[in-house]
Amino acid sequence: MIVLDRHARIGLATGPARRWPGEYFEPDGLPERLPDELARWLRGRRRHAGGEPGEPLKAARAGATLAVRRLPGAGPGGREVLLLDERREVPEPAALRAAGLTRREGEVLAPPQPTFAPFWRLQTCA
């Protein structure tokens, strides 16, 4: 989760949400700013969706997909929030067995289920 300030800069972000934009989009080098592609999508959402969240932005990389959803006015003081959700591809159990892995080895290699950080774990940008 990313909470934006009134200038669309990152005000608060969870640990994964701080990393993911730079992993899925070309970073612009400034940690408090959204990557250009993400910022353009956000401006377009604001123009076309108004107060509605609209369709998420999806970006893919090897074995994973990131979905970014806009939640207007959901943050402290009515600030805009971006909810980021990463989904990793999980091989089918039959494919793991065919590779010679036991069921338990497959469970260990499977990515953890997504969790949400409690509010107290949010970090403030400097």
Q: Which of 108, 65, 62 is nearest to 84 (CA)?
A: 65
Find out whether 75 and 3 touch, Cβ atoms under 8 Å.
Answer: yes
pLDDT in tens, 46-104: 887 666 667 899 999 888 899 999 988 766 777 889 999 998 877 776 777 788 888 88
- 125 touches 12 (CB < 8 A): yes
Examine the pLDDT at 18 and tell me if it is beyond 90.
no
Q: pLDDT: is 95 or 38 the higher one?
A: 38
* CA angle centred on 80, ends 79 and 85, rounded to 5°: 135
Q: 113 pLDDT band (50/70/90 cuts)?
A: low
pLDDT band at 118 (very low <50, low <70, confident <90, very high): very low
Torsion of CA 18, 6, 33, 43, to 10 degrees: 100
Question: One-letter amino acid identity for 43?
Answer: R
Cβ neighbourhood burial of 89 (10 Å; 0-12, 13-18, 19+)? exposed
Collapse the DSSP code of 63 into the 3-class scheme (helix H, G, I; strand E, B; otherwise coil) and give the result.
coil
Alpha helices in the chain (DSSP H): 15-24, 36-49, 93-98, 103-109
